[in-house]
Amino acid sequence: MFITEERAGRVAFSRVTGRVRPGLLVERGNPHGLHTYADAVARAGVRLAVLEGSVEERTLLKKGLPAERLMVVPDAVSGLALLKTRRVDGLALSQPTVGWMAEQADNRDEVEAASPFTPPQDAGEGRVAFAFRRGDGRLRRAWDEALAEFLQSDEHRRIAKQFGFETDALTTEGAR
């Protein structure tokens, strides 16, 4: 789960397991030439899908994409369906999710990750971790203890790669 201030006020996070940058899923061939969020803002009529309440939604609105050109969806599958049916021109998600979705057999002929894609400089990198109920401190501490070793393993890198995480996005922050 992405670590945000709001979430940190509600749950206790494990040690950080990775860093995630924004990405953009587009129609194969990228017909609108979208390589930045600014491209989407500048090109009249370009519509993007975002997950409801996501960092991408807040960022795109802040960057000036009119709300009427932003399709807010409850999940990535709904956004993908809008993209495949050309009701939107892109789906803004995390880079690992975009890469993973683009590589799925059912999607390869229709969509791709915008490449190159340059995220906004102020977007930063989202840190991800596991979330625990605040009252589960003992469980979280035990999890972190086991996680510290696992984060350094080849198995962790192999599993994470299956979901689009490249080695440079993984972290051993706080690992032994």
Work out the pLDDT band at 125, boundaries 50, 70, 90.
low
Same-domain check for residues 35 and 95: yes
* Domain-ending residue, one of 123, 144, 159: 123
From CA 176, how far away is CA 165, in angstroms rounded? 21
Q: What is the count of structural domains for the chain?
A: 2
**Structure confidence by residue, pLDDT tens digits, 106-124:** 999 999 999 999 988 766 5
3-state secondary structure of 110: coil
Q: Are residues 103 and 139 in the same domain?
A: no
* CATH number, domain with residue 14: 3.40.190.10
Count Cβ neighbours within 10 Å for each residue of 141-176 and write b for 16 or more, e otherwise: eebbeebbeebeeeebeeebeeebbeeebbbeeebe
Distances (CA, A) of 32 to 2, 46, 90: 29, 8, 9
**pLDDT the model gives residue 119:** 85
Residues 67 and 142 in one domain: no
Same domain? 60 vs 72: yes
- Tell me the per-residue pLDDT of 20-66, one tens digit each, with 9 for 90 and over: 888 999 999 999 999 999 999 999 999 999 999 888 898 899 999 99
> Does 10 reside within a domain?
yes
User: In angstroms, how far apart are the furthest CA atoms of the chain?
Assistant: 53
Q: Pick the last residue of a domain from 123, 138, 157.
A: 123
* Per-residue model confidence (pLDDT) at position 127: 83
Domain annotation covers residue 14: yes
Structural domain range at position 154: 5-18+126-169
Same domain, 46 and 79: yes
Residue 92's nearest CA partner among 66, 73, 109, 108 is 73
67: three-class secondary structure by DSSP: helix
In a domain, 78, yes or no: yes
Q: What rounded mean pLDDT belongs to the chain?
A: 89
Query: Which parts of 74-160 are beta strand (E)?
Result: 90-94, 111-113, 126-128, 131-132
Both 48 and 108 in one domain: the answer is yes
